[in-house]
Chains A and B, each alone.
Chain A
Amino acid sequence: MRNKMMLGLMLLAAAATTQAAAQTTIKINGYAGQDPAIVGDLINRFVKPALAKDKINVTYEPLQGDYNQQLTTLLAAGNAGDVFYLPAETLDGFVATGKILPLNGVVATGPYINSLNAAFTRNGKTYAIAKDFNTLAVEYNKAVFDEAKVAYPDNTDTWSSLQTKLTNVKKALGNDYYGICLAPDYARMGQFAFAAGWKPFDSKGKTNLLDPAFVRAFNYFTGLAKNKVGVQPSEISQSWSGGCLGTGKVAAAIEGNWIVGFLKDNAPNLKYGTALIPKDDKTGKRGNFVYTVGWAINSGTKNKAAAVKVLNILTSPQVQQYVLEQGLAIPSRTSLQSNAFLKKTDAGAANSKAVFDGATDGTVRPYYFGVQGPDWIKPINTALAAVLSGQKSSADALKQAQSEMNTFQSR
């Protein structure tokens, strides 16, 4: 009897093992923070039901801390996920590892916005499919403008007309209020340089920060701080300009669609509107960044077919529609650009619309550091911080930034 029971148990165990062996597990690496909840939701709602019959299980493992460093370590050790997030700005370093599977002929790139595909393409090979994207827009606090009796920023604004509006707000409301928050960050200033006609890299891959177009944009951005019309977030104990807008003491901020969720949670009663980034008075053009993160496949995956299936579901129209309607991100599929959600009039949807339109209006470039990686922006950010806090003149700061840039680019 006992022997029979043992045999039964062993058979059961054996059956369980074979079942487990047939089950393929696809591991996904991505950001920590809100992403585990969002991607977990997507996996449960869309991926698991679609793949249940294929015996494919999907898990999400967020990487804490610096995502790029963590992913590098995992890739080098051979422990990275089968599918993972790949930021466009650090694409080159990862492509050079040979660990990113080129998706040409594996996944159809046709349905996605061209500029997003371009951000993930090197030498004709596309390495990731854009998960979603963001651009910058001007978010403004309606109550502050109403109280100052100044017209809201709008899509016809130029650099100078926006500056006038912000200055008038400061004049009307005095010491406790500010026109705009200015983070000393290339990611919030570079779009003005694009509008003025500056290219981050010339044909030899060098960066010229003394280009008149860059200088003009740099001076416009730092000039907004004059007479305390603009402040750095740190001066009012905030860590970013979204936080500034949330205090209700700052009239405007330049941010992307990520500000919507933040304001919903942290300043639910704040009435805000969104306008496109103002046009350069001289060129009559707008400039903008497109920030994007893509889904990439590990070239060392043992389950390529399954990984491709997972990637296709995560970028499917249904998933993107869901993400858009939850107000989480802007979809990368061209077909969703006329989605009803974007025609809604609430503040969040209006912001999504402006961020969406920003991607195709004027000179739009990917947020990208070049082949040498993230240290590229450091000289620019140092110069911005030095001028915004009044330590250096713009000319001195830019001269130093250029010399640091030359050193960096000759390494």
Chain B
Amino acid sequence: MFKKNQSTATAYLFLAPFLISTLVFFVYAFGRAIYYSFTDFNLFNVPHLIGLKPYADVLNDVLFRRALANTLIFAVTVTTLQTILSLLMAVALNNKIRGMGFFRSAWYMPSITSSVVITLIFLWLFQRRGVANYVITQFQMYQPFILAFVGILVVAQIAQVLFERSRQLPAGWFDPALAAISALLAIAAIVVLSFTGVLQVREVPAFDFQYFADVWLSIGGVQVLSIPLLVIIIQNTFTTIPTLMLFFLAGLQNIPGSLYEAADIDGATPFEKLMNVTVPMLRPVTFYVITVGLIGTMQMFDQVAVIGDAAPQSTLITLAYYVYINTFKAGTAPVNMAAAGAIILAMIILVMVFIQRKFFPSEASV
């Protein structure tokens, strides 16, 4: 008995640093937030309980509803994109090829770069005189060249394949060796055509699209997704894929090779092997990846804060940013509304994870 007590005490002793920080920075802070969400607290007054009014105020706030819509759209889109793409990337990188270590580290770079820095880079890419608009302008200018290249390539490929087949040789439409020859032919033809002046650079006005403006993709007159948020979706997917890819890679190492051998004997195509062996075997990892992805995207804040006033507020505002701007104003601030917003955000995340657990059992059930 004495021994057992002692070991429990030792365990608590080792857990103490974590427990204390959790108590102070989570339990206490969370309790305070719940308390404030039922009061009239504005950072400077003595809080008085006023019941559910802050929640009613928040739900009536148009900005909050926009933030909620933006957050949900952002979370669902990014989680879906990043889960699928990171799985595909992990499968691609799970091959034993020379120099694979290099590719794995190179692919991982976006994840270890500060998201503030990446956001700034994306701001530059997508500003009015940014790289994105420049590339589109260049594409429009060189459109004759590009179209001619593609056209000649396709014609040459078809001609070669038909020629090979006429000689009774097996040739697929996408045969890489023939494609290389077609590409060389196309390049040669382009060079000739441009020297003879048949192909010329088109005069086009500079492409002038404002990405960080009040522009929306609407469905049936309802503003669904703003272009600034779309830029952040692209950026966020780009930066989170590598981390999630690592989880999938680790999961892939644990799938027994015999399953793939069995599938090979059954004559499964690579796609069938992916869908019927890899995906089911990775289910526990997928559950983890989706959960982490949902929680991370629901709380997305830094990218929006860095872009700040560069884009109209309603196009970018997320729940976490809503909480922030209602807490830090000039002087008194509706901290009770911020707290209510934060509690609602926490509830939504909790419900999402529960639903996901229900429909997506975390244990592999093969």
Contact = CB atoms under 8 A, between A and B. Distances in A.
B210 A72 contact: no
Interface string A39-71: 000000000000000000000000000101101
Interface in A80-111: 87, 90, 92-99
A234 B127 contact: yes
Which 8 residue pairs of A and B lie closest in terms of their CB atoms, listed nearest first? A93-B331, A90-B330, A68-B330, A94-B331, A93-B330, A97-B44, A69-B328, A96-B332
A3 interface: no
A198 to B, nearest CB: 23
Nearest to B308: A66
9 contacts: A68-B329, A68-B331, A69-B330, A71-B330, A72-B331, A73-B328, A93-B332, A97-B43, A378-B312
Chief secondary structure at chain B's binding surface: loop
Interface string A385-400: 1100101000000001
Contacts of A407: 62-63
B215 to A, nearest CB: 7
Interface in B312-352: 312-314, 328-333
Given A93-B332, A404-B314, 5 more contacts: A94-B330, A97-B44, A97-B332, A373-B330, A389-B213
A293 B331 CA distance: 15
B330 A374 contact: yes
Interface string B31-63: 000000000001110000000000000000111
A31 to B, nearest CB: 14
A75 interface: yes
Contacts of A373: 329-331
B332 A386 contact: no
Contacts of B129: 234-235, 237
Nearest to B128: A234
B313 A96 contact: no
A72 B333 CA distance: 9
B331 A95 contact: yes
Nearest to B43: A76
B272 interface: no
Contacts of A93: 329-333
Contacts of B215: 391
Nearest to B60: A411
B128 A72 contact: no
B214 interface: yes
Nearest to A236: B129
Interface in B166-217: 210, 213-215
Contacts of A69: 328-330
Contacts of A76: 43-44
Contact of B331 (A92, A234, A235): A92
Chief secondary structure at chain A's binding surface: helix
B140 to A, nearest CB: 19
A299 to B, nearest CB: 11
Contact of A72 (B61, B63, B314, B328): B328
Contacts of B43: 72, 76, 97
Contacts of A378: 312-313
A68 B43 CA distance: 14
A145 to B, nearest CB: 27
Contacts, number: 74
Nearest to A95: B331
A66 B324 CA distance: 13
A407 B60 CA distance: 10
Contact of A90 (B42, B44, B331): B331
A411 B326 CA distance: 12
Interface centre among B42, B61, B328 (most CB of A within 10 A): B328
Nearest to A390: B208
A407 B63 CA distance: 9
A382 interface: yes
Contacts of B313: 375, 378
Interface string B295-325: 0000000000000000011100000000000
B213 A385 contact: yes
A96 B42 CA distance: 10
Interface string A223-259: 0000000000011010000000000000000000000
B129 to A, nearest CB: 6
Contacts of A73: 328
Contacts of B44: 75-76, 96-99
Nearest to A68: B330
Interface string B61-74: 11100000000000
B331 A96 contact: yes
A92 B330 CA distance: 9
Nearest to A70: B328
Interface in A90-134: 90, 92-99
Given A235-B128, A378-B313, A391-B210, A411 B330 contact: no
A73 B327 CA distance: 10
A150 to B, nearest CB: 28
A411 B329 contact: no
Interface string A350-379: 000000000000000000000001110010
Contacts of A391: 210, 213-215
A97 B330 CA distance: 10
Contacts of B314: 404
A71 B43 CA distance: 12
Contacts of A234: 127-129
A411 B61 CA distance: 7
B123 to A, nearest CB: 11
A382 B214 contact: yes
A374 B328 CA distance: 12
Given A75-B44, A234-B127, A378-B313, A386 B213 contact: yes
Nearest to A76: B43
A75 B44 CA distance: 8
A79 to B, nearest CB: 14
Nearest to A375: B313
Contacts of A389: 128, 210, 213
Interface centre among B44, B61, B213, B330 (most CB of A within 10 A): B330
A268 B160 CA distance: 67
B260 to A, nearest CB: 54
A341 B127 CA distance: 43
Contacts of A75: 44, 331
A237 B210 CA distance: 14
Nearest to B129: A237
Contacts of A385: 213, 312
A73 B128 CA distance: 35
A391 B62 CA distance: 24
A73 B44 CA distance: 10
A72 B332 CA distance: 8
B312 A382 contact: yes
A248 to B, nearest CB: 19
Contacts of B312: 378, 382, 385
A68 B44 CA distance: 15
Contacts of B214: 382, 386, 391, 400
Nearest to A382: B312
A234 B309 CA distance: 14
